Amino acid sequence: MIEPIDQSRREQVLERTEHFIIEAEEALERPFDRIPVRFDLRGTTAGMFRADGRQREIRYNPWIFAKYWDVNLDGTVPHEVAHYIVHEVYGPRRVKPHGQEWQALMHYFGADPEVTFKLDLEDIPQRRQRTHPYRCDCRDHQISTTRHNRMLKGAGQYLCRYCNGPLRYAG
């Protein structure tokens, strides 16, 4: 199993993130807030810009960075900074996530505007979503935590695709 990047490498990622924010400020002639950068992303995603209201953050996967350092420093960091800048300039849902505005910024950064990379992630820790037991009239089902929580709140009801019967919690 691969080990996540250490503090020294995290500092390099933070410096690179800051570098691209400064480049965007110079190009667009306006300041941008410094948002939290976290190294807590797991699974098969190398990076993520996330906005929830006025809360914004960039998250990186320290295991994928450890395995593919140069690819992520040169590709993932500008990719996520570009998402952040486009969000700040155009607002949420006003442009496509990897649309022409994002692509133009990636070109300005000198980065490849490729959306995803296809590399071997076999030894990267994967998230495992917990499932919950449910039953219908014909069989047992394993339901994701997301759907389970929706049903508990009364915000969703799911039917069996075979017998069309409602799923009932069996735990």
Domain ranges of the chain: 7-109, 131-169
pLDDT tens readout for residues 1-36:
789 999 999 999 999 999 999 999 999 999 999 999
pLDDT per residue as tens digits for the range 89-144: 998 878 898 999 999 999 999 999 987 777 777 778 776 678 899 999 999 999 98
Q: Record the tokens describing residue 75, joined without a space.
A: 């590709």
**Catalytic sites, residue numbers:** 80
Rounded to whole angstroms, what are the CA distances from 63 to 37, 121, 133, 163? 16, 9, 32, 43
Fold of 7-109: Zincin-like (3.30.2010)
How many angstroms separate the CA atoms of 14 and 165, rounded?
51
